[in-house]
Amino acid sequence: MARPRNEVRRLAILSAATHVIASQGIGAASTAVIAKGAGVSNGSLFTYFDTKTQLLNELYVELKSEMAQAATADLPPHATAREQVRHMWRHWARWATDNPAKRRVLAQLQVADEITAESHQQVAAASASIADLLERARVGGPVQDAALGFVLTLANALAEAAIDEMIRDPEHAAANADTAFEALWRVLAGAIPPTDT
């Protein structure tokens, strides 16, 4: 079954999957429900995705890539590392708060057994520019000798936790975002520069 040309339908299916998983949980996301949500027949879904597992994997890669892209968009090229990390962090947090459903889905897919090692690798590749930035930011800091993967995991965990809290308590979102950024930066660079917004 070659990939068909009607990209719109494919996206409709992925979108429906997102909404179903976000609102009802991954357990309720049967192919029938997803197809209906996409306004597509049950059987049609399988001309766009060979298996349900494949659908889930593609969704995972797509969402994670979108998030990575949002995080690193418009990075000011000549700013300091701290400025760049702060920029990234803001965009990351904005994408997350703007797309709570996608975030919820990502959280579920991240630990789902159906996601293959290959997908995780693809995601890592798509997150390369985030990795690059963190690599630069940690130079001279306390985690400079750790494995980069470890630092990435740490940073990601921190960010996820912060965003979770921001979504849960929108009123203090701004303050928490700042606090979280400072925490992230302390982990990376260990110190706080004298002045900065």
Partner DNA sequence: CATGAATGAGATTTCATTCAT
Partner DNA sequence: TATGAATGAAATCTCATTCAT
Q: Which residues bind a copy of itself (CB under 8 A)?
A: 2, 24-28, 41, 43, 107-108, 111, 113-114, 142-143, 145-147, 149-150, 153-154, 156-158, 160-162, 164-165, 169, 172, 175-176, 179-180, 182-183, 186-187, 190, 192
Half-sphere exposure of 48 (CA within 13 A, CB side): 24
CA 44, 49, 55, 58 torsion: positive or negative?
A: negative
- Please give the residues from 27 up to 56 whose contact with DNA meets the rule CB under 7 A: 28-33, 40-48, 50-53
Give residue for tokens 């890592």.
124
Length of the chain: 197
Q: Which is nearer to a copy of itself, 83 or 160 (CB)?
A: 160
CB contact set of 159 (below 8 Å; sequence gap of 6+): 89, 92, 93, 180, 184
190 binds, among DNA, a copy of itself, none (CB under 5 to 8 A by kind): a copy of itself
51 binds, among DNA, a copy of itself, none (CB under 5 to 8 A by kind): DNA
CA 14 to chain centre: 16
Instruction: At 159, list the tokens.
Output: 């960010």
CA 66 to chain centre: 7
Computed over its alpha carbons, how large is the radius of gyration of the chain? Answer: 19
- Helix, strand, coil percentages in the chain from 3-state DSSP, rounded to 5: 75, 0, 25
Q: Tell the smallest beta-carbon distance from residue 196 to DNA (Å).
A: 49
Q: Which is nearer to DNA, 32 or 174 (CB)?
A: 32
183 binds, among DNA, a copy of itself, none (CB under 5 to 8 A by kind): a copy of itself
Q: Which is nearer to a copy of itself, 37 or 75 (CB)?
A: 37
Q: Tell the smallest beta-carbon distance from residue 53 to a copy of itself (Å).
A: 10
114 binds, among a copy of itself, DNA, none (CB under 5 to 8 A by kind): a copy of itself
Give the binding site for DNA (CB under 7 A).
Answer: 1-6, 9, 28-33, 40-48, 50-53
